[in-house]
Chains A and B, each alone.
Chain A
Amino acid sequence: HNFSFFLSFFLFLGGKYDYDLVVIGGGSGGLACSKEAAQFGQKVAVLDYVDPTVKGKIKIWGLGGTCVNVGCIPKKLIHQAALFGTALKDAKKYGWQISEPVCHDWATMMEGVQNHVRSLNWGHRVQLQDKKVKYLNFKGSLVDEHTVKGLTKAGKETILTAKNIVIVTGGRPKYPTNIPGAVEHGITSDDMFWLKKSPGKTLVVGASYVALECAGFLTGIGLDTTVMVRSIALRGFDQQMAGLVTDYMETYGTKFAWKCVPKRVDKLSSGALQVTWTDTQTGGEHQDTYDSVLWAVGRAPETKALGLDKLGVKLNQETGKIVLATDESTSVPNIYALGDIGEGRPELTPTAIKAGKLLARRLAGQSAELMNYDNVPTTVFTPLEYGCVGLSEEEAEKRHGKDNIEVYHAFYKPLEFTVAERDASQCYIKVVCKRFGDQTILGLHFTGPNAGEVMQGFAMGFQCGATYSHLSQTVGIHPTCAEEVVKVNITKHSGLDATVTGC
């Protein structure tokens, strides 16, 4: 490690490169990578730049990337706002005298959310300063494998040279450009979190976790919300669990237009948006008016303006994402990429952060450890939250064969739901294991309140290679929902009723 440090210092002294590392993108991955690299004495610059949303009217957001500004953070806060709405209804059964009607004010909520986001933007700036990382508000693009061009908003150009370059530019929501009126009249999640006024009656097109989470919190704060699904919900996730999530949402007031595809969006003289769509099952055409149309039909990697083709950085033809090796290297030496822009990488903040840190350590010659993308837990923050780690049941069947897996499951009722007289039909746990031998757990799935909090601890067990017997040997904490995970004992094979009761 001493030798590589001396070498890079020597090269730097020789005036070879401006920086040891230039990071293009100041989001979860970029910030983690640059700060870690600086800690090892590397001279680092991070370029962060936000192109205006198509709407253009939205203020450009600050440092921190998607997660901080238009993703995880505002999403979770607004999800919390919606949960409070449900809690207020439950509270009456618990004796709270709450006068009706209880209304929600969008502007008050947004002020609180945006204030927190701004405090995070500031916090990141201070951290970069503290860790001696140079921050540049430039739009970065590649000139060659050691040269980055930075462009200010005013168009002023700066050239930076670097020993290594990391591309961490992430992605932006897609617009369905083939649908007339989609771009002019619709919005995406990039706009949603900065709306000054309530979106009103909303049509959410898409059935990804972004679509369902947004539709979920909009319903929760009292707005008339419809989700338009082309085929299936939560593609890539366990489909039984996806069904439970959408069933719950339907029970709680979110409307679903299954197997429907929007055809066009027109703006009426009243200002409302008229959406025409086709029901692919009947072939019939329908129309309805909405105040807002939210497109949640996927995210596109931010690679266009980077100049990657010029350098021969290989992209996946279908997704447009950068093809990466296990050490995050691209097809061009000295150029690396991570986070959402990487092909086959999970589009999650914690994996981007960890991969960023490990890459920084490798580049500084401190370590050879590669990022482990297996066993990554995640949670969908829909009104009924869904947390999972490992394989879906269908994926486990595919890999091991249906007869070689054992699925333990249980329908449980959270204690809090009882007095509140809430329907718990979709609160469910599924533990997918190998059928024979140690019965290693292949996948863990949980729908219920605080699914993310419940799943985190189990993810550690999963990482340690937990088996069904480890699970059943663990004593539950009572009374909780999480204890039902360690208590699962009914198998799907048995065909027995999986509904469990508390004590």
Chain B
Amino acid sequence: MAHRLLARRIWTLSIKDISCHPASSATIAPSFSTSLQSATTRVSFLTPSRTLPRSLPHTSRRAVSFNVQDNEDFTERVINSELPVLVDFHAQWCGPCKILGPRLEKAVAKQKGRVAMAKVDIDDHTDLAIEYGVSAVPTVIAMRGGDVVDHFVGIKDDDELDSFVSKIIGQ
């Protein structure tokens, strides 16, 4: 329990570092990983070769969400995530998804790194979406420790999303 809290604190600290230092991903990653390796081995997703370069945005603002690339990526970054993860199942052809996406990112960003957000395009990852029982889109599922703890279908407004996200973190 203690090491998990420690990892989380280091994660939060490091994120703050990143947001303050808009340097290239290459310079940040090595220093980040050495400090981490001494702390814990469980936080598998925070390895220099993979996570940081991907999660750092091309814009100056830190990216709140990441696009799931394949099943391994989903296992690593969602199922095995230390943080609770919101998974946004969406589709290119879905109008409401385009409205919910940014709103969800806003709600997640407010939590300042206490929750992660994964985006799954159901046309690219149909089997994964079917596996999680997605029928209509957008469907958002909340995962913690590899288990689905909550979900909703359709659009929600900012307040509803804030409370949904808080509930996931709070418990």
Contact = CB atoms under 8 A, between A and B. Distances in A.
A122 B92 contact: no
B88 to A, nearest CB: 16
A240 interface: no
A172 B130 CA distance: 29
Interface residues of A, number: 11
Interface of A is mostly: helix
Contact of B126 (A115, A125, A130): A125
A291 to B, nearest CB: 28
B92 A118 contact: yes
A122 B122 CA distance: 8
B91 interface: yes
A122 B135 CA distance: 9
Contacts of B91: 118-119, 122
Binding site secondary structure of chain B: loop
Interface in B66-96: 91-94
A118 B130 contact: no
A314 interface: no
B123 interface: yes
Given A121-B123, A122-B122, A122-B123, A115 B93 contact: yes
A232 interface: no
A4 B91 CA distance: 43
B135 A126 contact: yes
B90 to A, nearest CB: 11
Contacts of B130: 125-126, 129
Interface in B34-73: none
Contacts of A62: 123, 126
A116 interface: yes
Contacts of B135: 126, 130
A121 B137 CA distance: 14
Contacts of B92: 115, 118
B137 to A, nearest CB: 8
Contacts of A130: 135
B17 to A, nearest CB: 41
A119 B122 CA distance: 10
Contacts of A115: 92-93
B126 A119 contact: no
A221 to B, nearest CB: 21
Interface in B118-145: 122-123, 126, 130, 134-135, 137
B134 to A, nearest CB: 8
Nearest to A127: B135
Interface string A114-139: 01101101100110011000000000
A62 B123 CA distance: 9
Contacts of A129: 130
A119 B137 CA distance: 10
Interface string A92-126: 00000000000000000000000110110110011
Interface string B89-126: 00111100000000000000000000000000011001
B135 to A, nearest CB: 5
B93 A116 contact: yes
Nearest to A117: B93
Contacts of B126: 62, 122, 125
B151 to A, nearest CB: 16
Contact of B94 (A119, A121, A125, A126): A119
A115 B137 CA distance: 14
Nearest to B122: A122
Contacts of A121: 123
A119 B136 CA distance: 10
B139 to A, nearest CB: 11
Nearest to A128: B130
A38 to B, nearest CB: 16
Nearest to A63: B126
B91 to A, nearest CB: 7
B62 to A, nearest CB: 30
A121 B129 CA distance: 13
- Most chain B CB inside 10 Å of its own CB: which residue of A116, A119, A130: A119
Interface of B: 91-94, 122-123, 126, 130, 134-135, 137
6 nearest A-B residue pairs (beta carbon): A115-B93, A119-B93, A126-B135, A118-B93, A118-B123, A129-B130
Given A118-B92, A126-B135, 5 more contacts: A115-B92, A118-B93, A122-B91, A122-B123, A126-B130
8 contacts: A115-B92, A115-B93, A118-B92, A118-B93, A119-B93, A119-B94, A122-B91, A122-B122
